[in-house]
Amino acid sequence: MHATQAIKAEFEKVFGDGKKGRVHVIRAPGRVNLIGEHTDYNDGLVFPMAIEPQVIIACRARADGRVRLASTAFPGQVVEFSVEQTIERGEPAWANYFRGVAAELEGAGIPLTGMDALIENTLPVGGGLSSSAAIEVGTGLAFLTLSGVEMDRDRLALICQKAEHEYALVPCGIMDQMIVATGKAGHATQYDCRSGAKQFVKIDPNDLRVVIVNSMVRHELTGGEYAERRRQCEAGVAFFQQQHPGAGIRALRDVTLKQIHEAEGKLDPVVFRRCRHVVSENHRTAEAATALAQGKYERAGQLMVESHRSLRDDYEVSVAELDFLSDEAMKVRGVYGARMTGGGFGGCIVALVQPRAVDALKAHLEKVYPAKFGIKPMAFATTATAGASVVE
């Protein structure tokens, strides 16, 4: 059965049949970041694309302001709240993304209609492919659609990011919500997190495939490391502002590679390495997007490998499993580049590969990874998809 039909059938099982009004279906994709990691909250550049695994939400308006929410991942649970009362965080935790987006939309002055909604998620939770951003943006679109409100996608992304901060308590940057809300089919987006400028770069599946390999090690961004990295970056900004008063440094985005080199030995060594990662990663990201646009795949791949090393050694957000998968991927002929993707501490690697190398890469990693770590990885190729949309 087609995915849309299947979720509608499931929706009717949970909430009763269709006489009560039209059931809409919303799709919100996950994302993979090709390069530009831990740069978004430093006003820098990122280069993600939306992917095939996705969140689907079936929803139907209610006239009484109530929201009843179910998830195929938690059968039997129905979470209830009202858009006419203050929306608080609460148990179960999975519903907080939904509550958060509803609360932030209302906070932004949007009057909301209640709804029955069923969420289905084909993204690995804690897999670093932004299942949370997909749920948030999908929720936002569901409320906007049923409430008959049009909203600019960039604004929706910002509202969803705020929901993640305040209801999921993860101090994330803007990359995930932005790409889930605005991704363009067939393209990766180089996004400037300061100016908001987007540059779309075609990923032609005849030339290039994007392979994602899940290490099956779950990451937890609420674990404190992410917030700690953000604080270290802020400490770096304070140092460079003091060293270069009048240079207009507002974020690590404004620090040059020369200033980084001059800071060695003067700045706390850990903060120094964190800053060196961010500043060099911005350069790599700009160059990689240009290289990909010009079909210089080897160069783009090399920059991904350098990005991984920098994340491993300077930013220290990789783990042995991600290092191993990236190194082993590079041993396969036809792989241009591989690196960890997303926040780190588990999750996935992403590889750029020639189409004919996809099967060889999967086969190799499915052999060597379990032999070393005793875990079966999950590997798949994906095209670049469009951002979230109302399917029906």
Q: Which residues pair with 176 in a beta bridge?
A: none
Rounded to a whole number of angstroms, the minimum distance from the CB of residue 216 to ligand GLA is 18
Catalytic residue from among 40, 43, 116, 176: 176
Minimum gap (Å) between residue 33 Cβ and ligand GLA? 6
369 binds ligand GLA (CB under 6 A): no
Within 10 Å of residue 358's Cβ, how many Cβ atoms? 20
Using DSSP, state whether 198 is helix, strand or coil: strand
Of 23, 24, 35, 40, the one binding ligand GLA (CB under 6 A) is 40
Provide CB contacts within 8 A for 214, sequence distance 6+. 124, 127, 128, 129, 347, 348, 377, 378, 379
Stretch that binds ligand GLA, among 21-29, 32-40, 52-60, 89-97 (CB under 6 A): 32-40
Which span (35-43, 140-148, 184-192, 326-334) binds ligand GLA, by CB under 6 A?
A: 35-43
Residue 279 as a binder of ligand GLA (CB under 6 A): the answer is no
Q: Is 176 a catalytic residue?
A: yes
104, 136, 176, 328: which one binds ligand GLA (CB under 6 A): 176
Q: Which of 140, 342, 346, 377: binder of ligand GLA (CB under 6 A)?
A: 342
Distance CA 209, CA 382 (A): 7
Could you say which of 45, 61, 105, 172 contacts ligand GLA (CB under 6 A)? 172
Report d(CA 288, CA 33) in Å as an integer: 12
Nearest in space to 231 (alpha carbons), one of 183, 289, 281, 271: 271
What is the spatial distance between Cα 135 and Cα 295, in angstroms, rounded to a whole number? 34
Pick the closer one to ligand GLA by CB: 47 or 98. 47
Can the peptide bond before residue 29 be classed as cis, meaning omega within 30 degrees of 0?
no
Strand partners, 349: 213, 340
Tell me which stretch binds ligand GLA (CB under 6 A): 142-150, 172-180, 236-244, 287-295. 172-180
CA–chain centroid gap for 72, Å, is 22
Neighbours of 29 (CB within 10 A): 32
Span interacting with ligand GLA, options 167-175, 236-244, 247-255, 289-297, rule CB under 6 A: 167-175
Using CB under 6 A as the binding rule, the residues of this chain from 42 to 61 that contact ligand GLA are none
Name which position in 37, 43, 254, 314 contacts ligand GLA (CB under 6 A).
37
Residues in contact with ligand GLA by the rule CB under 6 A: 37-38, 40-41, 172-173, 175-176, 342-343
Residues involved in catalysis: 176
